[in-house]
A and B are shown apart, each in its own frame.
Chain A
């Protein structure tokens, strides 16, 4: 069983609010990822990190930002939430040389 956690699991918030989605893993994985999953199920990579102090933008442009100050922690921040940000956000991690990727349970975000 993967040890990767996301909080909150559900969030309803008003337009213009700043939010941070938390993701942490206890497996010592160097690579971490954020995906946005639309209602059609497709996964869109929005950010990833090779390790501490490294972050990269993913394949889908996103207004969110990420940071990686500690190996186990990879939070995602939206400075000003909008209804278009309503989605499910999935965090994942994997060890550099290995290939299996482990996912957190996801955060369902609703912006009113």
Chain B
């Protein structure tokens, strides 16, 4: 079946450090891939997505590239800020499926 595995947290970095949060997936067919972010006290919101192989999603300085050969969708940011402290979820879905599959989430702490 379909599944998503993302690196366990918490991840703690200093401000302006480079960020990578790993995500790999297992899926049949050609799913779309997502990163969602959850700030403290809020629901999840879409950060970026990619719908086919080699697509790069980007938003707010974050990027992720859909790598079919390695079944990965790693999240990266060149210089993190304290305001990026949140929980990040990798997810996959297909238009005809009823449910989106979420990873377990990675908590990110950015120290000033």
Contact = CB atoms under 8 A, between A and B. Distances in A.
Given A41-B87, A42-B104, A99-B32, A90 B43 contact: yes
Interface residues of A, number: 26
A101 interface: yes
Interface stretch (A11-19, A67-75, A78-86, A102-110): A102-110
The main secondary structure of chain B at its interface with chain A is strand
A49 to B, nearest CB: 10
A31 interface: yes
Contacts of A33: 99
A100 B104 contact: no
Nearest to B104: A42
A21 interface: no
28 contacts: A2-B45, A6-B43, A33-B99, A41-B38, A41-B104, A41-B107, A42-B104, A42-B105, A43-B44, A48-B99, A50-B98, A58-B99, A90-B44, A92-B43, A94-B100, A99-B34, A99-B49, A99-B94, A99-B95, A99-B100, A100-B34, A100-B46, A101-B46, A101-B93, A101-B100, A103-B45, A104-B43, A106-B42
Given A99-B51, A101-B100, 4 more contacts: A48-B98, A101-B46, A105-B42, A106-B42
Interface of A: 2, 6, 31, 33, 40-43, 45, 48, 50, 56, 58, 90, 92, 94, 97-106
